[in-house]
Amino acid sequence: MSKILVTGGAGFIGSTLVDKLIAEGHGVVVIDDLSSGKKDYVNPKATLYEVDICSSKVEKIFKKEKFDFVYHLAAQIDVRVSVERPEYDNKINVLGGLNIIQNAHLNKVKKFIMASTGGAIYGEAEEIPTSEAAPTYPVSPYGIHKLTLEKYLNYYYQVYGLNYTVLRFSNVYGPRQFKGGEAGVIAIFIDNAVKGLESFQYGDGLQTRDFVYVDDVVNGLFLALNIDCPSEINIAYGIETSILGLREEISKAIDAPLKIKEMPAKAGEQRRSCLSYMRAKEVLNWEPQVSLEEGIKRTIAWAQKANKN
Ligand SMILES: NC(=O)c1ccc[n+]([C@@H]2O[C@H](COP(=O)([O-])OP(=O)(O)OC[C@H]3O[C@@H](n4cnc5c(N)ncnc54)[C@H](O)[C@@H]3O)[C@@H](O)[C@H]2O)c1
């Protein structure tokens, strides 16, 4: 049994990871300020510190808890917020992350695993599906800050030997997803559909995304614990789905047409996004297991239940 810190462990992906780590017999501590996460999502067997990752309290928590491993998932995840308030995004996603890395280094943790983004780091890529070798041209402060923290991790590895792996997710979806995030188109469409409400579609709907189910992402995070790969690994479904295609999948699963209001395209929105998971297959022996059809069904079932409560 290892002692593991999960920052952002009250959030969508983090809380699902905490459940998995506890089911595998590990001791888990969560640092989360509950800005978008929920206390109810935190497994009762985990210890929750309701603390900002930028806070000096982080140092005391590391000293007291003596972690073997760190998963860093806490972040400001809304791309639009990062565009409106880049300095705020920088504070949480770079300085907050750096606070966690520095403490992990000073307390000699065995490994640091960071949740990063493929969707926002490669920009409008020439190579589709996009591999980790593709150039990185982020088109948002969010992408720039995620990339910056990746570079810091690599620096701590080179200079201090802090072992790490970065997982770059495509668009993650599934139960517990926060509907306020930019990446949450499936969460927004499904939540509105089960409540009989209208959703907005921006642009012609032909823009594509790569939707990967949360349990597959959590499996990838779990497998990353014991590998030696101090670099970046894409975690993705590897298939492009257009927003129009997504609407069709959801309305098929819910057996009713979605109420959609078509809005003008958002300036600067990426046209295509799809990642290659070949490195994950090679290094982690990981492949997505849940089809988009099945993942949508599971997410609808969860949203319908949550809507009744
Ligand atoms: N959801 C996606 O499609 C996606 C795609 C790529 C990468 N990611 C990354 O995965 C990670 C988890 O994302 P998620 O989708 O679960 O989002 P989420 O918003 O559900 O989870 C983030 C968690 O971090 C916490 N948090 C935010 N700021 C904090 C702070 N200053 N101090 C402490 N806690 C703080 C929030 O309360 C929340 O519980 C993030 O790092 C995100 O950038 C997500």
Kindly state if the Cβ of 34 falls inside 6 Å of ligand 1.
yes
Question: For the chain, what is the mean pLDDT?
Answer: 95
Q: 275 CA distance to ligand 1 centroid (A)? A: 20
Tell me the HSE value of 66 on the side-chain side, using a 13 A CA sphere: 1
**pLDDT on residue 80:** 86
Q: 11 CA distance to ligand 1 centroid (A)? A: 6
Share of residues in the chain with pLDDT > 90 (%): 92
**pLDDT on residue 163:** 98
Contact 303, 196 (CB under 8 A): no
Average of pLDDT values for 206-234? 97
The number of beta carbons lying within 10 Å of the beta carbon of residue 22 is 16
| Distance (Å, whole) CA 171 – CA 145 | 18
Active site residues: 142
Nearest by Cα to 16 from 308, 304, 300, 299: 299
| Distance (Å, whole) CA 82 – CA 89 | 5
Task: Flag whether pLDDT at 248 surpasses 90.
Answer: yes
Q: Which amino acid is at 112?
A: F
Ligand 1 atom 23 nearest Cα? 8
| Distance (Å, whole) CA 254 – CA 171 | 21
Mutate to test the pocket of ligand 1, among 5, 12, 16 (most ligand atoms within 8 A of CB): 12
Give pLDDT tens digits for 254-273: 998 899 999 998 877 889 99
**Longest CA pairwise span in the chain (Å):** 57
Give pLDDT tens digits for 138-187: 989 999 999 999 999 999 999 999 999 999 999 999 999 977 655 589 99
Mutate to test the pocket of ligand 1, among 49, 76, 77, 168 (most ligand atoms within 8 A of CB): 77
Helix axes 214-223, 12-23, angle to 10 degrees: 60
Kindly state if the Cβ of 50 falls inside 6 Å of ligand 1.
no
Q: 251 CA distance to ligand 1 centroid (A)? A: 28
Question: Is the bond into 129 cis (omega within 30 degrees of 0)?
Answer: yes
Give pLDDT tens digits for 91-117: 999 999 999 999 999 999 999 999 999
Contact 10, 30 (CB under 8 A): yes
